[in-house]
Amino acid sequence: MTPGTVPAPVQHDLADPALDVVELTRRVCDTESVSGGERALADAVESALRAWGALEVLRDGDAVVARTALGRGERVLLAGHLDTVPLTDPPNLPVRREQHPVDGDVLVGRGTCDMKGGVAVQLVLARETAAAVAAGRPPARDVTFVFYDHEEVEAARNGLGRLARNAPQALAADFAVLLEPSSAVVEGGCNGTLRAEVTTTGKAAHSARAWRGSNAIHAAAPVLARLAQYVPREVEVEGLVFREGLNAVGIAGGIAGNVVPDRCVVTVNHRFAPAFSAAEAEAHVREVFDGFDVRVTDAADGARPGLHLPAAAEFVRRTGTDPLPKFGWTDVARFSALGVPAVNYGPGDNATAHADDERCRVEELERCLDVLRGWLLGAGEGAA
Amino acid sequence: MTPGTVPAPVQHDLADPALDVVELTRRVCDTESVSGGERALADAVESALRAWGALEVLRDGDAVVARTALGRGERVLLAGHLDTVPLTDPPNLPVRREQHPVDGDVLVGRGTCDMKGGVAVQLVLARETAAAVAAGRPPARDVTFVFYDHEEVEAARNGLGRLARNAPQALAADFAVLLEPSSAVVEGGCNGTLRAEVTTTGKAAHSARAWRGSNAIHAAAPVLARLAQYVPREVEVEGLVFREGLNAVGIAGGIAGNVVPDRCVVTVNHRFAPAFSAAEAEAHVREVFDGFDVRVTDAADGARPGLHLPAAAEFVRRTGTDPLPKFGWTDVARFSALGVPAVNYGPGDNATAHADDERCRVEELERCLDVLRGWLLGAGEGAA
């Protein structure tokens, strides 16, 4: 992050009922909100939700929750994070609308893909839900909208995790949709992730008299060989095939240019199918590196797809697409851990997330909005 | 280095002719001189040399050279560095004289071994040479004493290298003794040293979709395997057997905990016998890592022992010990490059150099002084 190059956040009004999803995406993006700097955007979101009325609004730090209280027998939840990764230098904001040679009509700029397009979709839906309740045409299910902070940084600061601790009832639901970029295709569940350090040890010595020592980096040769030879599993869970992975994501060893090192640490990242618990994944990693010192540094369970549930099945049907497995760990796993089945479904190609030329197709913004509007408010059936 | 814990250098007088080698070692050590902070010690050495008279004294930065100008047909040179590695915290100074359970009567403290004991021996010999010249009993050979700075840091700052550039005539000699710690045994020549980076490349990708990338750390598996399997050569040069070595001294790779890395660098250090040039050593390293990207970052030729030369042979005979090969690269290679055959011979066990409990046996200090006194000034024959 290069604070000197980031313009001071300008808070754009989001409450004007005339704003369409494209203009809302632009305004949400231009209210810059790199992780830790979500305040201005959270304030604008809260102001708009309160201005629209009809929904209960809860603020927790820089997370905002709005929900109907219709007493329905079923509640669905939409969630998205307000923060982005740091801007580029020079800043990739304000948002520009362009013709992209492949993607066509796009919005370009930090957050357009990950995931302020999804936030804008949520805002339109919240506004329309409030209007429907006010007009005496309330939705058939209760609905909760969650906007949260600190998704792009270490898990301990994640705003959804904080809400789950501070206000778990605010996240209660029968089914959740996380509007992370998925190219407007339902991605069910997610793989779990586990990181471990595989450490080799030796005996330090001057490299001019190496025979007095034992080289810990040389001792890591079989660790790398096992990684190079490893064939990842493919595991079917509820009809979706999850591809796993086991990769070195870091290696470090060495004391000085003239010293035989006594320690080498290979950091590995195992992505495991939601058929397995983090404990089972750890056992697998320990088996792969049998004979070596293995220390798990962090692990998070994945999430089963849950697509057999009625609310999920109806939602998938409305998207008009075949669901895919989600390989990356996402906050759907937090919902899964709370007992709420969840899927990823949002505008934007995840391949451009975090990229300097991050972008989102306007057509996907509008399609996601239509699909979700139809599902929540009973309109737009067949719009996909 | 932790400057806060290092006492301000106190300059101790070294000129008093009543000081013996033990007291001189203590005073040279207590005049703290971590690399870059040699000024006070260099001043004290220069003052003493000028006070004793009879020798030409040259100052270059914090290096001091003193020499006879007797017009002899042969000149020998003694050299030692004034600097030390950083002190411990709390400081391992002032020097203490102790009974060590294995080594007996020792001086303990930073520099006692590496190599202020040798500097003190040089000072006694310079003082006695000056006195002998003044008394009309000049030595049979001209003699040069070199005290220099910045040996314990990067080669570019080495004071002996600077002298060789600024005042090469000051280093002219037929034979040189470097008083680095060698347990009072002649160590002939030295291995050369070469460092290289062996780099593997891949393609970065999110570790949740590793199949889209190519892991550079995994690609380093055969590099480590070749290192682990490598059998170092033993090469006889002029009767001494030099053990070589090829070791990883560092490894680094990794972008983030969720990214398949596209680059891994293994830093290797090759120690090669003085039978080979640095160019030949590079060819060997490139052969070992055939198929990989190899970049040599620094290389220094070793030094042949030169023990067949008359001045060297007489010196070895006086030590009463069998010479050994020197495995570590030392500044004898700088003399070798200047065309001056050189050996390592000094008090102190190199195994305690740089150690927190660095120490030197008093008996070795006195024995080295006796041997060198006999060789230079014609006394002490058989003292070893």
**What residue ranges do the domains of chain B occupy?**
21-189+303-377, 192-300
pLDDT over 70 (residue A7):
no
Q: What confidence tens digit (pLDDT) does each residue in A149-165 have?
A: 999 988 889 999 999 99
Least confident of A305-309, B125-129, B204-208: A305-309
pLDDT at position B89, please? 87
Contacts of A249 in chain B (CB under 8 A): 207, 217, 254-261
Candidate list B83, B282, B349, B370, residue with the active-site label: B83
pLDDT at position B154, please? 82
User: In angstroms, rounded to a whole number, what is the distance separating the alpha carbons of residues B140 and B274?
Assistant: 31
Residue A148, SS3 per DSSP:
strand
Taking CA–CA distances from B154, the nearest residue in chain A reads A257
Using the beta-carbon criterion (under 8 Å), do B257 and A195 form an inter-chain contact?
yes
pLDDT over 70 (residue B6):
no
pLDDT at position A278, please? 95
B221 interfacial to chain A (CB closer than 8 Å): yes
Confidence of residue A312 (pLDDT cuts 50, 70, 90): confident
Using the beta-carbon criterion (under 8 Å), do B327 and A208 form an inter-chain contact?
yes
Is A103 annotated as catalytic?
no
Confidence of residue A2 (pLDDT cuts 50, 70, 90): very low
CA-based end-to-end distance of chain B: 39
Contacts of A168 (CB under 8 A, 6+ apart): A338
Taking CA–CA distances from B216, the nearest residue in chain A reads A248
User: In angstroms, rounded to a whole number, what is the distance separating the alpha carbons of residues B281 and B273?
Assistant: 9
User: In angstroms, rounded to a whole number, what is the distance separating the alpha carbons of residues A115 and A113?
Assistant: 5
Mean pLDDT of B255-277: 95
User: In angstroms, rounded to a whole number, what is the distance separating the alpha carbons of residues B239 and B237?
Assistant: 5
Choose the mutation target among A114, A193, A200, A217 for the interface with B, i.e. most B CBs under 10 Å.
A217
Looking at the domain A21-189+303-377, which fold is it?
Aminopeptidase (3.40.630)
Candidate list B32, B114, B128, B151, residue with the active-site label: B151
Taking CA–CA distances from B330, the nearest residue in chain A reads A208
pLDDT at position B380, please? 42
Q: Which two tokens stand for residue A296?
A: 């798990």
Residue A93, SS3 per DSSP:
coil
Q: B223 and B292 in contact (C-beta within 8 Å)?
A: yes
pLDDT over 50 (residue A8):
yes
A329 interfacial to chain B (CB closer than 8 Å): yes
pLDDT at position B9, please? 67
Amino acid at B225: A
Mean pLDDT of B309-314: 85
Q: What is the mean pLDDT of chain A?
A: 93
pLDDT over 60 (residue A295):
yes
Using the beta-carbon criterion (under 8 Å), do A228 and B250 form an inter-chain contact?
no
Q: Where are the beta strands (DSSP E) in B149-257?
A: 175-178, 187-188, 192-201, 205-206, 234-237, 240-243, 245-253
Dihedral pair phi/psi, residue B58, rounded to 5°: -125, 135
Name the nearest CA neighbour of A44 among A13, A8, A22.
A13
pLDDT at position A153, please? 87
Residue A194, SS3 per DSSP:
strand
Strands B142-148 and B75-81 come out as parallel
Is B174 annotated as catalytic?
no
Taking CA–CA distances from A257, the nearest residue in chain B reads B249
Choose the mutation target among B85, B211, B215 for the interface with A, i.e. most A CBs under 10 Å.
B215
Contacts of B232 in chain A (CB under 8 A): 210-211
Question: Tokens 């293994």 sit at which residue?
Answer: B266
CB pairs under 8 A between A and B: 154
Taking CA–CA distances from A216, the nearest residue in chain B reads B248
Contacts of B228 in chain A (CB under 8 A): 215, 218-219, 221
pLDDT at position B379, please? 57
Q: What confidence tens digit (pLDDT) does each residue in A105-157 have?
A: 999 999 999 999 999 999 999 999 999 999 999 999 999 999 999 999 888 89
Which of B206, B211, B227 lies closest to A328 in CB terms? B206
Candidate list A38, A46, A62, A83, residue with the active-site label: A83
| Cis status, amide bond into A90, omega within 30 of 0 | yes
User: In angstroms, rounded to a whole number, what is the distance separating the alpha carbons of residues B232 and B244?
Assistant: 5
**% of chain B residues with pLDDT over 70:** 96
pLDDT at position B341, please? 86
| DSSP tag of A254 | -
Q: B288 and B268 in contact (C-beta within 8 Å)?
A: no
pLDDT over 90 (residue A372):
yes
pLDDT at position A155, please? 82
Burial of B50 (0-12, 13-18, 19+ CB in 10 A): middle
Choose the mutation target among A223, A247, A288 for the interface with B, i.e. most B CBs under 10 Å.
A247
**% of chain A residues with pLDDT over 70:** 96
Using the beta-carbon criterion (under 8 Å), do B254 and A251 form an inter-chain contact?
yes
Q: Which two tokens stand for residue B219?
A: 């690609």
Using the beta-carbon criterion (under 8 Å), do B328 and A208 form an inter-chain contact?
yes
Q: Which two tokens stand for residue A34?
A: 């790199």
Taking CA–CA distances from B273, the nearest residue in chain A reads A208
Q: What confidence tens digit (pLDDT) does each residue in A56-76 have?
A: 999 999 999 999 999 999 999
Q: What confidence tens digit (pLDDT) does each residue in B35-56 have?
A: 999 999 999 999 999 999 999 9
Q: What confidence tens digit (pLDDT) does each residue in A225-267 have?
A: 999 999 999 999 988 999 999 999 999 999 888 899 999 999 9
Contacts of A257 in chain B (CB under 8 A): 195, 249-250, 267, 269
Kindly report the number of other CB atoms within 10 A of residue B322's CB atom.
10
Q: Where are the beta strands (DSSP E) in chain A?
A: 56-60, 63-67, 75-81, 96-100, 104-108, 142-148, 175-178, 187-188, 192-201, 205-206, 234-237, 240-243, 245-253, 259-260, 263-272, 293-300, 324-325, 342-344, 359-361
B195 interfacial to chain A (CB closer than 8 Å): yes
Taking CA–CA distances from B219, the nearest residue in chain A reads A228
Q: How many CA atoms lie within 13 A of B356 on its CB side?
A: 4
Mean pLDDT of A363-379: 93
Q: B69 and B56 in contact (C-beta within 8 Å)?
A: yes
Q: What is the mean pLDDT of chain B?
A: 93
Specify the CATH number of the domain A192-300: 3.30.70.360
Name the nearest CA neighbour of A145 among A164, A125, A162.
A125
Q: What confidence tens digit (pLDDT) does each residue in A212-228 have?
A: 999 999 999 999 999 99
Q: Which of residues 247-306 of B touch A (CB under 8 A)?
A: 247-261, 264, 266-267, 269, 271
Residue A69 to chain B, least CA–CA distance (Å): 38
| DSSP tag of B256 | -
A129-139 exposure pattern, b = at least 16 Cβ within 10 A, e = fewer:
bbebbeeeebb
Which ipTM score applies to this complex? 0.79
Q: Which two tokens stand for residue B192?
A: 């050369």
pLDDT over 60 (residue A384):
no
Contacts of B144 (CB under 8 A, 6+ apart): B65, B66, B67, B68, B75, B76, B77, B78, B170, B171, B172, B173
User: In angstroms, rounded to a whole number, what is the distance separating the alpha carbons of residues B170 and B146?
Assistant: 9
User: In angstroms, rounded to a whole number, what is the distance separating the alpha carbons of residues A43 and A151?
Assistant: 18
Mean pLDDT of B265-269: 98
B205-241 exposure pattern, b = at least 16 Cβ within 10 A, e = fewer:
bbbbbbeebbbbbbbbbbbbebbbebebeebebbebe
Check residues B68 and A205 and name the one with the higher pLDDT.
B68
pLDDT at position B8, please? 58
Using the beta-carbon criterion (under 8 Å), do A247 and B215 form an inter-chain contact?
yes
Mean pLDDT of A303-315: 86
Check residues A306 and A298 and name the one with the higher pLDDT.
A298
Using the beta-carbon criterion (under 8 Å), do B249 and A252 form an inter-chain contact?
no
pLDDT at position B3, please? 43
Which of B207, B211, B228 lies closest to A218 in CB terms? B228
Q: What confidence tens digit (pLDDT) does each residue in B337-383 have?
A: 898 989 999 999 988 888 889 999 999 999 999 999 999 998 543 33
Burial of B51 (0-12, 13-18, 19+ CB in 10 A): middle
Q: What confidence tens digit (pLDDT) does each residue in B151-190 have?
A: 998 888 999 999 999 999 999 999 999 999 999 999 999 9
Q: Which two tokens stand for residue A96?
A: 């520009």
pLDDT at position A379, please? 57
Using the beta-carbon criterion (under 8 Å), do B251 and A329 form an inter-chain contact?
no
User: In angstroms, rounded to a whole number, what is the distance separating the alpha carbons of residues B384 and B382?
Assistant: 5
Which of B218, B247, B258 lies closest to A269 in CB terms? B258
Q: pTM for this structure? A: 0.79
Candidate list A151, A180, A187, A364, residue with the active-site label: A151
